[in-house]
Structure 1
């Protein structure tokens, strides 16, 4: 079992022994897309709850079971990726895996990602940690003390890295896991404008624009663009320039990418943290792979040669196995075992 302690640097530059798919599954795009093809059915029925925020807005929670009946159980909070939600294959898959461990899981949807547009000008972004910090404090206040961990995926992983780095010892978590996170936003933005990765940019931008259009129709004037301006956006960077940056007080997309990247904050993490990256992730470049001196002594870094973006599919095409649903609970057991 993996251990982290304040005096040790647990850096694994090539963790091939932990995840090695068969040759037929080593294509990065197949790894990235395959979970959506094999996880079409929800593995559990969530218990939904709406949580009001201090500024008058709200976020939606999807629990693995009714928290009133399970408040004594260890807890795992999942922060999803860009335009993700409980229905994302990795989200309900990990929640189901946590449920099998006897833990209480919950997906905290970022503002506007629970199926209904949020009310205020603020939305969410890679470095916005206030809602997550509020939710984690509320979790303890509302349901009492219990071992609590968080899993952040892609954008949610970068956000979790920012939160753990900014709060240090005071972070209201016992442990965290970050998966496929764009720890430096600028090179990831550029990567998504190149080659086949442009396919992912088009998909993500379409999702962002659809969500923004719903928000504009439900709450006119709550975004810094109108519908015509929204439809004219052609790159994720354009969206971040026109909407993300302006809605959250950044000068432009470049300023947002610099100030919201988790990489510079990782050395300040004081809670046990596992970071999982795939070397062939089509969303990222080698710049996103941290150097040992950029990580705190409580961080374990696992780099696999294959896995794509939030893929990590093993087994065979006929019987695929979701490695993250084994790896994440296995590592978290150290802090969530009762």
Structure 2
């Protein structure tokens, strides 16, 4: 499908760059009016996933959106809540699931979540398929977007026909390129923010699973690449960071996506270099469309004029999912 490049700018003048456009919503946006009902499901390895359901204002909806959050996020991040609130108002039930260890309680096994753990997303989807929905839509942000695209590619033409389309934002489709990008000095604020929450989780895990995690390895972790190489990769069966990135980057799976899918990435995303996206492959794809915005940052997309508390990304999602 053709690459769609938006000519007009999204953000207000007082958020002049990708860093501010990413950080401002994360720090200062407050979403009210979303009420979750939590469901816990058991995984095949006797772990658990926490699923947060929020229902449409008009009861009895037959349409469900499954939302996947980003690295070290959860169902209460502003980009999830804002999306859920708007979709609920327009007749969609929403299921925002929390990756292992992200729902407020540490998961039970030595493993965590990672960028390619589609077996957990599949478990969530199978749970939803057991409900009385006629249409299911997938929506992902950042890491959750990569996970969604990888899942769609793996499923290909065998995807359940109730899953109608998918929309993803700010997707690191090349995990290695993004891991190396976040090492750059201008991106240190994001890397340290991620490491500041990942490291305590490793400490907690090491106390329970000392044979699986050597806490002394923490001293070698200076970057997100180091963390993935020392902890993420071996805990999840990969030979190292590069092997993990190669096996889990969604750019290697998009060829087989068989349902209408839209990827929205900002050209000034500080975490996902635009040139790391497989633009030519997407341009030639029959089912996947890439929308390149001039600005918006990483999972930001605050418009210059905010009407009824709705962000640009949420308006685009409602348009796409309502087609």
Fold-level similarity (TM above 0.5) = yes
Q: Which moved more, 1:230-239 or 1:315-324?
A: 315-324
String of CA shifts for 1:214-268, please: whole Å, max 9, x gaps. 3334x33374222x43365221111111111001111100111111100121121
Could you tell me whether the CA contact under 8 Å between 1:225 and 1:242 is conserved in 2? no
Runs (4+) of structure 1 moved beyond 6 Å?
A: 317-320
- Uncovered stretches (5+) of structure 2, i.e. residues with no partner: none
String of CA shifts for 1:282-311, please: whole Å, max 9, x gaps. 002233222233452111210001011000
Q: Give the C-alpha shift of residue 181 in structure 1.
A: 0.8
Alignment of 1:122-271 (within 5 A): 122-141=111-130, 143-172=131-160, 173-217=163-207, 219-221=208-210, 223-226=212-215, 228-230=216-218, 232-271=220-259
2:219 & 2:90 partners in 1: Cα distance? 45
Match in the other structure for 1:306:
295
**CA RMSD, Structure 1 to Structure 2 (Å):** 2.3
Could you tell me whether the CA contact under 8 Å between 1:72 and 1:146 is conserved in 2? no
Residue 286 (structure 2) pairs with residue 297 (structure 1): yes
1:110 & 1:186 partners in 2: Cα distance? 21
Could you tell me whether the CA contact under 8 Å between 1:153 and 1:310 is conserved in 2? yes
Instruction: Assess, with a 3 A threshold, how the Cα gap between structure 1 residues 10 and 71 changes in structure 2: closer, same or farther.
Output: farther
Match in the other structure for 2:96:
107
1:196 & 1:125 partners in 2: Cα distance? 25
Instruction: Assess, with a 3 A threshold, how the Cα gap between structure 1 residues 222 and 178 changes in structure 2: closer, same or farther.
Output: farther
1:333 & 1:188 partners in 2: Cα distance? 32
Could you tell me whether the CA contact under 8 Å between 1:224 and 1:246 is conserved in 2? no
Q: Say which SS state the counterpart of residue 177 (structure 2) adopts.
A: helix
2:14 & 2:118 partners in 1: Cα distance? 39
2:49 & 2:250 partners in 1: Cα distance? 23
Could you tell me whether the CA contact under 8 Å between 2:183 and 2:191 is conserved in 1? yes
Match of residue 86, structure 1, among 68, 75, 88: 75
Alignment of 1:273-284 (within 5 A): 273-284=261-272
Q: Say which SS state the counterpart of residue 322 (structure 2) adopts.
A: helix
Q: Give the C-alpha shift of residue 41 in structure 1.
A: 4.5
String of CA shifts for 1:40-99, please: whole Å, max 9, x gaps. 344412111111112211100111139xx9564300000110110012110111111111
Match of residue 3, structure 2, among 11, 34, 58: 11
Aligned length: 320
Q: Give the C-alpha shift of residue 321 in structure 1.
A: 5.0
1:254 & 1:303 partners in 2: Cα distance? 27
Q: Which moved more, 1:177-186 or 1:144-153?
A: 144-153
Q: Give the C-alpha shift of residue 15 in structure 1.
A: 1.8
1:116 & 1:243 partners in 2: Cα distance? 20
Instruction: Assess, with a 3 A threshold, how the Cα gap between structure 1 residues 77 and 70 changes in structure 2: closer, same or farther.
Output: farther
1:234 & 1:42 partners in 2: Cα distance? 37
String of CA shifts for 1:179-217, please: whole Å, max 9, x gaps. 101000111111111122111001011111122233334
- Uncovered stretches (5+) of structure 1, i.e. residues with no partner: 1-8
